[in-house]
A and B are shown apart, each in its own frame.
Chain A
Amino acid sequence: MKKNNVTKMLAAAGLAVCMLGSLTGCGGSGQGTSAQSIQQAVKQENEAAKAETGEREENGEESSEGAADLSGTITMAGSTSMEKFANALAESFMAKYPGVTVTAEFTGSSAGIEAVLAGSVDIGNSSRSLKEEEKASGAVENIVAIDGIAVVTDPANAVTALTTEQLQDIYTGKVKNWSEVGGEDGAIVVVGREAGSGTRDAFEELLAIQDRCAYANELDSTGAVMAKVAATPGAIGYVSLDVLDDTVQTIALDDVEPTEENIKAGSYLLSRPFVMATNGEAAKQSEAVQAMFDYLKSEEGQDLIKAVGLIIPD
Chain B
Amino acid sequence: MGQKNMGNTYMSGRGRIRAVETAAQIIFTVCAFFAVIAVASITLYMIANGVPAFFKVGVREILFSSVWKPTAAEPSFGILYIILTSVVGTAMAILIGVPIGLLTAVFLAEVAPRRLAAIVRPAVELLAGIPSVIYGLLGIMLLNPIMYKWEQRLFRGSETHQFTGGANLLSAVLVLAIMILPTVINISESSLKALPPQLKASSLALGASHVQTIFQVMIPAAKPGIITAIVLGVGRAVGEAMAISLVSGSSVNFPLPFSSVRFLTTAIVSEMGYASGLHRQVLFTIGLVLFAFIMIVNVLLNGILKKGDTEYD
- A residues in contact (CB < 8 Å) with B: 1, 11-12, 15-16, 18-20, 22-23, 26, 28, 31, 34, 83-84, 106, 173, 176, 187-191, 194-198, 201, 210-211, 214-220, 224, 227-228, 231-235
Contacts and interface: CB of A to CB of B under 8 A. Distances in A.
Given A176-B163, A195-B69, A211-B69, A220 B269 contact: yes
B270 interface: yes
Given A189-B163, A210-B72, A217-B260, A15 B36 contact: yes
Contacts, number: 129
A170 B270 CA distance: 23
Interface of B: 33, 36-37, 39-41, 43-45, 48-49, 68-73, 140-141, 144-145, 148, 152, 155, 159, 162-167, 245-246, 249-252, 260, 262, 269-271, 273-276, 279-281, 309
Given A195-B279, A210-B72, A220-B250, A19 B40 contact: yes
A226 to B, nearest CB: 13
Contact of B260 (A23, A28, A194, A216): A216
A91 B133 CA distance: 33
Contacts of B145: 231
B259 to A, nearest CB: 9
Contact of B273 (A11, A176, A190, A220): A220
A257 B223 CA distance: 65
16 contacts: A1-B309, A19-B41, A23-B45, A31-B276, A83-B276, A173-B162, A176-B159, A189-B163, A189-B164, A189-B165, A197-B273, A216-B164, A217-B164, A217-B167, A218-B270, A234-B163
A211 B71 CA distance: 8
B165 A232 contact: yes
Contacts of B41: 19, 22-23
A201 to B, nearest CB: 7
Contacts of A194: 250, 270-271, 273-274
Given A1-B309, A16-B40, A216-B260, 5 more contacts: A16-B44, A26-B48, A211-B69, A220-B270, A231-B144
Of A11, A195, A224, A232, chain B has the most CB atoms within 10 Å of the CB of: A195
Contacts of B275: 195-196
A309 B85 CA distance: 34
